[in-house]
Amino acid sequence: MVAPVRLEMIEAMRMIAPCSIAEIAVALDRSADTLYRHMEKLRAAQVVVVAGTRKSGRRTEQVYDLVADDFRVGFKDATPRAANKAYNETVQSILKIASRTARDSAAACQLIGIGDERNIVGKIEHAWLSRADFLALRDILMRAKQFMDRRKGARDGRLYLAAFLAMPVTRRRGARVRRSAGTKGTGAGASKTPSARKPRAAS
């Protein structure tokens, strides 16, 4: 279920369902023909159901609806490795959706980064968080999500994407997970402290 296009389909359906595949295609600016197999995957995962049929011109088309307004990936008898693989695939899908949105908006010269008309915000932050700190951050992000959820039914303004991520950092090159305050990286397992750089001469 974590393929980027399926996440996009779910997001579109959260705004317009019950709806047809043709309507989803319009919402995503994609060809309807490319969405049918993904819809079958969503149905097999019991995320989407057929809500009925309706006439569209001379054709009868199926109408689909979500089984719930929001979803959380669950695992039955999954190993930690399998669960983490799925979490990573979900994160990569979110990043791909955000990247495609940025690419398309930039190609159309629709992004404004300065001034009163600014319409894009992008930040990346690292900080040491306790468990309580992380839960507080998660609460902030969930409130932002709820703000976006309340706007899904509105058709005024402009369609925006907001992507939220927060996760622990794991260094892969042997760096220590945490260094005690006021201590240098000495002793077993510590990374070597680089020597101070000399100031560059002015040219």
Which residue range is the domain that position 39 belongs to? 4-66
Assess whether the previous peptide bond of 194 is cis (omega < 30° from 0).
Answer: no
pLDDT at position 73: 64
Identity of the residue numbered 192: K
Whether residue 18 is found in the same domain as residue 59 = yes
Q: Does residue 135 lie in a domain region? A: yes
Residues 26 and 56 in one domain: yes
Q: What is the pLDDT of residue 202?
A: 47
Say whether both 48 and 28 belong to one domain. Answer: yes
What's the length of the chain? 203
* Residue 61 shares a structural domain with residue 81: no
Q: Looking at the DSSP assignment, which residues form a beta bridge with residue 54?
A: 61
Among 57, 86, 117, give the residue marking a domain's end: 117
Task: With respect to residue 172, please indicate whether it lies within any of the assigned structural domains.
Answer: no
| pLDDT for the residue numbered 25 | 95
Residues 61 and 8 in one domain: yes
- Which pair of tokens denotes residue 177? 């997970």
Give the pLDDT confidence of 140-153 residue by residue, as tens digits.
Answer: 999 999 999 999 87
- H-run or E-run covering 53: strand 48-56
Residue 146 lies in a domain: yes
Residue 53's domain is classified under what CATH number? 1.10.10.10
Q: Which parts of the chain register pLDDT below 70?
A: 1-2, 73-77, 174-203
Residue 197 phi/psi, 5-degree rounding, is -80, 145
Q: 182 lies in a domain?
A: no
Query: CA–CA separation, 59 vs 143, rounded Å?
Result: 42
pLDDT at 86: 86
> For residue range 188-197, what is the model confidence (pLDDT) as tens digits?
444 444 445 5
- The pLDDT of residue 135 is 98
Structure tokens at 99: 């990247």
pLDDT of residue 193: 46
How many domains are there within the chain?
3
Looking at the fold, whether 97 and 138 belong to one and the same domain comes out as no
- Sequence letter at residue 134: F
Same domain, 128 and 91: no
Angstrom distance (rounded) from CA 27 to CA 6: 13
Looking at residue 77, its pLDDT comes to 66
- What pLDDT score was predicted for residue 187? 43
Tell me, yes or no, whether 100 and 131 share the same domain.
no
Q: Which two tokens stand for residue 57?
A: 């011109």
110 lies in the same domain as 127: no
- Closest of 17, 9, 22, 15 to residue 55, by C-alpha: 22
Tokens of 24: 């989803």
Same domain, 131 and 148: yes
| Residue 20 and residue 58 in one domain | yes
Token reading at 132: 């309580």
pLDDT at residue 155, as a whole number: 76
> What is the pLDDT at residue 129?
98
pLDDT recorded at residue 104: 94
pLDDT at site 127? 97
Judge whether 189 lies within some domain: no
- How many helices (H) and strands (E) the chain has is answered by 5, 2
